[in-house]
Structure 1
Amino acid sequence: MSTVGLVVHSGRAEAVALADTVRAWLGRRDHRVVDDDADADGPVDLVLAIGGDGTVLRAARWAAEADADVLGINLGELGYLAEVEPDSWEDALGAYFAGRHRIQERMLVACATDDGRSLPLALNEVVIEKQDLGRTVRLSVDIDGGYFTSYVADGLIVATPTGSTAYSLSARGPIVDPSHRALIATPVSPHTLFDRSLVLGPSSVVEVSVGGDRDAALVIDGQPHGLVAVGRRITITAAPDPARFARFGGRSFHQVLKAKFGLSDR
């Protein structure tokens, strides 16, 4: 018997309905099911996400804390993270519990503020950004203990390879295959000639200090996590352990990328 954590896009009726069906299927096979809003502190073996990539991000955070695998059932548009389609979930779960799957590891990033806050791991990115429209923030960046540069910008994104196709991409960051381990630092609309991304090694330490006279907002995988006050610093590193995604031989990252951007074969 396994314990399965369930993360559901509650705003989509089809996701809620499918979750009820999946819960009953698991129960008939003597698996224990826990919901992310009910018993998220208990041990789990698998975290099952029903929704789109945003739902998978929530599931990955839970799975990382619980040392569990992640499996995504896609009810959104074609996504990078949720591999299983709604009409094949039963086959996928059967294959998973029979051991007929492979594990794909995805790098996570950890961040810590110098005021001692507890912050979650990120699968996509950590963003330090402006709070208000028409304003900028002043950010000073140190890499591996040495000063690199300062930005007056809308913000700074520090992404994983998985997150390179999310917010970082819209800020002109590079696309990095998610099998790699790297930190990708991308400024957002910087007021400087140097507006390029930096692709750093997985052992790099990125420290971002807020200067000027405006506090910055801290956003982790799209979720707000308060402010980084003027004079405060946030440190971003690769997390020691990756997220583990259960895969069944569906579309590769490059095939999804082609479909997303409408790239055709010659």
Structure 2
Amino acid sequence: MTKVRLGANNLQPVAAIALFVHADRPEALELAADLIDRLGADGHEICLPPSSAGAAGRADLARPDDRIGRELDLAVSLGGDGSMLRAVTAVADHGVPVLGVNYGSLGYLTAIQPQAALGAVARFLAGEYRIEERIRLRCHLGDGQVVSALNEAIVEKVDSGRTVNLAVHIDGEFFTSYAADGLIAATPTGSTAYSLSAGGPILAPTMHAVILTPVAPHMLFDRSLVLPPASELVVRVLGDRSAAVAVDGRELGRLEVGDSLTVTVSDKPARLVTLSRRGFHQALKSTFGLADR
């Protein structure tokens, strides 16, 4: 994907690079300014989404959200997993790889430490990297919205202290109805996010599967389901209470009684840049403080 033309040093190709910056982290903004200066000096084309450009004081580098993924070689996320999700949402449909620099706490998606960011970009430009593909969910709402999710899609209650009634169809057949605080449809990447907090299983992030996890179900059946990637899930609102819909932490609106959310696996995966051999098992051990025995 990198453009075949040489930069100012005549040693490495010139690339189009987008920076997605956590606007509330001054240290991330400082690193963004440094990357802009250094990469720009080598002739690379740098752009930022409008929100990042405004926070960084670089309105001259802003590119509209609906165009930022086009003709791009690399997206770099400077923040936590939330920033990484925003970067993936913006560029994954265009097949653009995403490199995550960690300014968060968990860092499941953002493996590079800030001090190694410039070197990581240089290694990418030199071809010293691997691409790890992660499945995404394609979510169809009743009002015609179609959005994608790297972690999960959630249908949940609106009123505190009251459950929501949800019917689930799998591949066109009715499975069961849930009285619960909500239902989570998660990817393997999202298995360590909200689904895990609700008691769901941990899946290796490169697996191809869909996890359906109920949140605080008021029924005997309270287990998660792990379904093949070809599955189609339809979650329909029953009873007399509406439900809220969120995708990767973004609230999308409400489903009224009779409305539904349809979830399938997208044919356009996320492409994450990997530079080290640190595996998922090592990340789990570090995050959960699991000692060697």
TM bin, normalised by shorter chain, reads: over 0.9
- 2:58: which partner in 1? none
Cα distance in 2 for partners of 1:223, 1:82 equals 19
State the one-letter code of the partner of 1:114.
G
Which of 70, 77, 82 does residue 49 from structure 1 map onto?
A: 77
Cα distance in 1 for partners of 2:255, 2:78 equals 33
Instruction: Provide the secondary structure at the position in 1 that maps to 2:268.
Output: coil
The question of whether the paired residues in 2 share the 8 Å contact of 1:6 and 1:35 is answered with yes
State the one-letter code of the partner of 1:77.
S
1:262 aligns with 2:275: no
Q: Please state how far the C-alpha of 1:193 moved relative to its aligned partner.
A: 0.2
The question of whether the paired residues in 2 share the 8 Å contact of 1:78 and 1:256 is answered with no
Instruction: Provide the secondary structure at the position in 2 that maps to 1:121.
Output: strand
Cα distance in 2 for partners of 1:168, 1:242 equals 20
Q: Which runs of 5+ in 2 are unaligned?
A: 1-13, 51-61
Cα distance in 2 for partners of 1:24, 1:228 equals 46
State the one-letter code of the partner of 1:227.
R
Instruction: Provide the secondary structure at the position in 1 that maps to 2:196.
Output: helix
Superposition pairs for residues 141-152 of structure 1, below 5 Å? 141-152=168-179
Cα distance in 2 for partners of 1:6, 1:58 equals 11
Q: Please state how far the C-alpha of 1:66 moved relative to its aligned partner.
A: 2.7
The alignment of Structure 1 onto Structure 2 pairs a total of residues equal to: 265
Q: Please state how far the C-alpha of 1:250 moved relative to its aligned partner.
A: 4.8
- How does the TM-score come out when normalised to structure 1? 0.97
1:190 aligns with 2:210: no
1:220 aligns with 2:233: no
- How does the TM-score come out when normalised to structure 2? 0.88
- 1:248: which partner in 2? 275
Structure of higher RCO (CA pairs closer than 8 Å, 6+ residues apart): 1
- 1:23: which partner in 2? 36
The question of whether the paired residues in 2 share the 8 Å contact of 1:164 and 1:175 is answered with yes
Cα distance in 2 for partners of 1:96, 1:245 equals 12
Percent of residue pairs bearing the same amino acid type: 49
Cα distance in 2 for partners of 1:198, 1:133 equals 26
The question of whether the paired residues in 1 share the 8 Å contact of 2:137 and 2:266 is answered with yes
Cα distance in 2 for partners of 1:64, 1:258 equals 29
- 1:86: which partner in 2? 114
Q: Which runs of 5+ in 1 are unaligned?
A: none
Superposition pairs for residues 1-266 of structure 1, below 5 Å? 1-37=14-50, 38-39=62-63, 40=65, 41-42=67-68, 43=70, 44-117=72-145, 119-266=146-293
